[in-house]
Structure 1
Amino acid sequence: MISNTEKSTGSQGELGPVRVWALAAGGMVGGGIYIALGVVIAVAAQWAWLSFVISGVIAVCTAYSYARVSNHYKRSGGAFEFLEEMDRQGIAGSLSWLLILGYTLTIAVYTFAFGHYLAYSIGGGPAVIRAFAIGIGIALIGLNLVGIGKMTAVEVVIVTANLVVLLILGLIGICNWDSTQLLAGIEPRTPWSASVGAAAIFVSYEGFQLLTYEYEKVKSPEKYFLPVLVSAAIFVVFVYVLVALGATMLAGALAIVEEKQVALSIAAENVGGTAGLVVMTIAAAFATAAAINSTLFSTGKLAARVARDHELPGWFSHQNRFGVPDRPIIAIGIVATLLSVLGSLSALVEAASLVFLAAFFIVNLTCFQLADSNRWIPLTGIIVGAMIGVVLVARLIVTAPISLAVLVLLSLVATLGRSAILRWLKSKEE
């Protein structure tokens, strides 16, 4: 077992196990399934459900690793903090840049989903989609700047309602089981395609690790954090498989692929007509907005924390009168909003998936090195994550070489050019 010799954080945190569970599950489901289903069915067809299982194995192993290492160091800060505590500041700085990039891409995906689901409900075209996306981006930047970036109680309510809606949709679909719907209008795929699908939508499992940035606010984390985080990840795997199968039963594979930006609205409308569409639109709007809000808040805090350790320019550490790291929130929010209206769904999803596969690989490796029991869990995350990462890179080489080249360039800047950039900026400040 990982050493637990440091002083306990006690039980004075404000986040109890139920809230932590809800926020962890909601962090993953908040935007993921709304935009991932059509993407994965286009790639894996009848094996889409297995794609979610494969990605879920990595997520569950990584949730375990995040919790174990968080309990070891007993500090908020996530992977950046873990590596700094291990005297690996260089790797920590590079990883922080990659994480900020990944979170920015994720916010763009959620903003993309928000714009498309709302616009579809009123029959709006591209201009309306962009207006909704830009509007939510600006609105949530504003909320964060006035200190309303983490609305825990509200988020729990949204998460609960969202999960209920998705479970009902999935169960209705399963009760109307028709295996021909899994391939309705599309070509069948081989079982191998499940690994390609898992690679393409791994970003759907991003979100639970944001709770590690709030570790010091968790009640009795040594007791609850690990089982809560892992059980939330396992539950989300179940929800994703249920919805992947259920929604396909209701809408058919072709409809979901052709309308992948709003796949769940198509399924809900087929089963419930206008009422189903309204319910799913409300669920999607609130879930994606909450996911944007919490991710933007946490990413801004991460950027400010990294800047205070001189691994980002000091400009990012600035706080406004509400104690909010305003500059990173504005910068990240604007970039994410622009990406959401300029980028394609698949490119955004797959680029973010690759970043988080790399980050989760590092966390699993960290846990494997520190632990002296149950090392097979992080090892499983390492092996499966590496395999899926290779598959995703191969896919991007074929389908999106420009996106991959940009991502590789940014990764090289983060790993090899970061120190030189920071030295140059410091010389300019002096």
Structure 2
Amino acid sequence: MNNNLLTNNGHSCHRKRGKTLGVIELVAIALGGMVGGGIFTVLGISVSLIGVYTLLAIVIGGLLAFFAAYAYVKLGSYYQDEGATYSFYKRTFPNSPFAASLIGWWVIFGYISTLALYAYTFSSYALSGFSVADNELVRKLVAGAVIIFFTLVNLWSVKGMGKIEDFMVYSKLLILAFISYVLINHSQTSLPVLMKSQSEFNLLAVLIVASLTFVAYEGFQLVINAVKEMDQPEKNIPRAIYTALVVAVLIYVVIAFGAIVAIPFSELIDNKEYALAAGAGDVIGQWGTDLVILGALLATSSAISGTIFGASRQMAVIAHDGYFPQALAKRSRRIPMVAIISMSLLAFILILVGNLTVILEFGSVTFLIVSLLMAFANFKIRQQTQSSMIISLISMAGLLIGVILILYYEWVHQPEQLVFITGLYVILTLSSWLYARNYK
């Protein structure tokens, strides 16, 4: 349950709370969750599938993210509940405890999988210049260490976390912008030339890649988890989320454009998540590689911190309602310490035992499905949230197509991963059912 005093229209009352996080910090939290490891891993995959049309896929993926954000902004401004995804669904469908429990379990483990991915990506870049770079155990231990560090930061102070997040996010944006500028100035070709050499245009492939890039935009929801630490949520939630999404789209487009015109496609495809670092080194020298690595470390660090911050608060709300162990609801100084520690521990376990490629796909599918459910919830109460019926219908259709496309891609190209992901859903669904059964 929400501990805030509620007004007659169901909104949380925040008048007694002093401002802790402003719009700048909230945008930083959203960008910290979005601009993490996504752009570094998606770029190589996108180029391998659709070449120069990667730019188009990134823009369509951003449009898909805006469809998802529309529902979150409307529901977030209306309910003003830090439980976000889970609480929105529970309060929109109050007579379905199993549905509330199910979406709670799905979204939290989606966050845990992305947390594991960010930490592993951080480790890969941090060790890239050392002889132990290919040692899997060392990579996993470094990933665990960075999770521990940002767990301690989040346990320390909300204000302290916000300021550190500001520094990491805005520093990485400056670095990525500078890298893009240098790459564009060292361009080896142009888009018209590349499009002419790649005459084939496969719309289905572009839409599939756009669906796959959705994971690079996941994270804007973390703003809503900070509703207890912000003033005027009805204004600051839309400002922060829409601003962060516009900035993220621009960042991804500029980075992808710089990489495509300056780095040979073969280089981008062969190096996958190291594509930008390896390509920058070839184009502008070792300092370019070092700068990309620094940008990657800042990007993944801010994503780790932002994800721990937002998702742990959502986990605490779910536990408070009885769908997770009650211990996860405990707080000290408004900080859900047990939830923070538990999330970090589960992410490290995934790093130790899991296939992170599968975990990445699980996270992508999960957030597409969850976003579709949020769009449906917003459509149901569109009059209360003052939402456009047309935009709501378009959002649901777009997100449904995205889910279908990514499942189709998995079925055709990686059926064994689809089987594994299905198994994870079965386990989470069973667990959520067991807790929902005891709900009172």
Counterpart for residue 54 of structure 1: 60
- Mapping of 1:13-412 within 5 angstroms? 13-86=19-92, 87=94, 88-122=96-130, 124-127=132-135, 128-146=138-156, 151-175=161-185, 176=187, 178-179=189-190, 190-318=202-330, 324-340=335-351, 343-344=354-355, 346-372=357-383, 373-412=387-426
Cα displacement string for residues 338-385 of structure 1 (whole angstroms, at most 9, x for unaligned residues)? 434655554332221100001111111122222244233332221111
Q: Distance in 2 between matches of 1:299 and 1:407?
A: 21
User: 2:32 touches 2:306 (CA, 8 Å); kept in 1?
Assistant: no
Deviates more, 1:406-415 or 1:190-199: 406-415
Q: Deviations over 1:167-223 (max 9, x none)?
A: 222233334261489699999662321112122232111111001011232232223
> In structure 2, what is the Cα distance between the partners aligned to 1:26 and 1:324?
19
Name the SS of the counterpart of 1:312 in structure 2: coil
AA partner of residue 300 (structure 1): S
How many Å separate the matches in 2 of 1:363 and 1:25? 21
2:223–2:310 Cα contact (<8 Å) kept: no
More off after superposition, 183-192 vs 242-251 = 183-192
Q: Residue deviations 1:30-79, cap 9 Å, x none? A: 33212221122222222211221122112112222211111111222211
3-state DSSP class of the match of 1:231?
helix
Alpha-carbon distance between aligned partners in 2 of 1:393 and 1:43, rounded to the nearest angstrom: 16
| Partner SS for 1:117 | helix
Where 1:201 maps in the other structure, the secondary structure is helix
The one-letter code sitting in structure 1 at the alignment partner of 2:402 is I
Provide TM-score, normalisation by structure 2: 0.85
CA apart distance, 1:147: 5.3
Range 124-133 or range 174-183, more displaced = 174-183
- In structure 2, stretches of 5+ residues that fail to align are 1-7
Taking the aligned partners of 2:274 and 2:141, their CA distance within structure 1 comes to: 17
Residue aligned with 2:322, SS? coil
Kept after mapping to 2: 8 A contact 1:56/1:205: yes
CA contact (8 A) 1:49 1:241 kept: yes
1:357 and 1:5 mapped to 2: Cα distance? Answer: 28
Distance in 1 separating the partners of 2:199 and 2:134: 29
Amino acid at match of 2:215: V
Tell me the alpha carbon deviations over residues 62-117 of structure 1, each in whole angstroms, 9 at most, x when there is no partner: 22221111111122221111122221433221111001111011011111210111
Distance 1:129 1:37 in 2: 22
For residues 149 and 345 of structure 1, the distance between their equivalents in structure 2, rounded to whole angstroms, comes to 32
Stretch moving more, 120-129 or 276-285? 120-129
Q: Distance in 2 between matches of 1:81 and 1:152?
A: 24
Deviates more, 1:253-262 or 1:324-333: 324-333
Q: Whole-Å Cα distance in 1 between the matches of residues 261 and 35 of structure 2?
A: 20
Give the distance between the partners of 1:300 and 1:225, measured in 2 at CA: 19
CA distance in 2, matches of 1:172, 1:184: 25
Amino acid at match of 1:96: G
Asked if residue 418 in structure 1 is aligned to residue 432 in structure 2, the reply is yes
| Matched AA of 1:40 | S
Structure 1 pair 213–115 and aligned structure 2 pair: CA distance change class (3 A): same
Which whole-Å deviations, capped at 9, do the CAs of 1:264-303 have from their partners, x for residues lacking one?
2123323432222222222211221221122123222222
Q: Is the 8 A contact 1:41 1:197 kept in 2?
A: no
Task: Tell whether the 8 Å contact from 1:149 to 1:294 is kept in structure 2 after alignment.
Answer: no
Q: Identity of paired residues, percent? A: 26
2:301 alignment partner AA: A
Offset of residue 151 of structure 1: 0.7
Decide whether aligned partners of structure 1 residues 332 and 223 sit closer, same or farther in structure 2, where only a CA change above 3 A counts: closer
Cα distance in 1 for partners of 2:292, 2:210 equals 25
CA contact 2:45–2:272 (8 Å) conserved in 1: yes
Provide the rounded CA distance (Å) in 2 between the counterparts of 1:122 and 1:184. 41
Residues 75 and 88 of structure 2 are in contact (CA less than 8 Å); yes or no, is this contact kept in structure 1?
yes
Amino acid at match of 2:83: G
Cα separation, 2, equivalents of 1:7 and 1:310 = 21
Q: Tell me whether 206-215 or 53-62 shows the greater mean CA deviation.
A: 53-62
Task: Tell me which amino acid in the other structure corresponds to 2:374.
Answer: V
C-alpha separation in 1, matches of 2:379 and 2:108: 24
3-state SS of paired residue (2:316): helix
Q: CA deviation at 1:310?
A: 0.5
C-alpha distance in 1 between matches for 2:28 and 2:437: 42
Specify the code of the residue in structure 1 equivalent to 2:52. Q
Distance 1:312 1:409 in 2: 20
Q: Which segments of 5 or more consecutive residues in structure 1 lack a partner in the other structure?
A: none
Q: TM-score normalized by structure 1?
A: 0.87
CA 1:333–1:382: 2 relative to 1, 3 Å: same
Q: CA deviation at 1:131?
A: 3.9
Moved more, 49-58 or 95-104: 49-58
Partner Cα separation in structure 2 for residue 303 and residue 53 of structure 1: 32
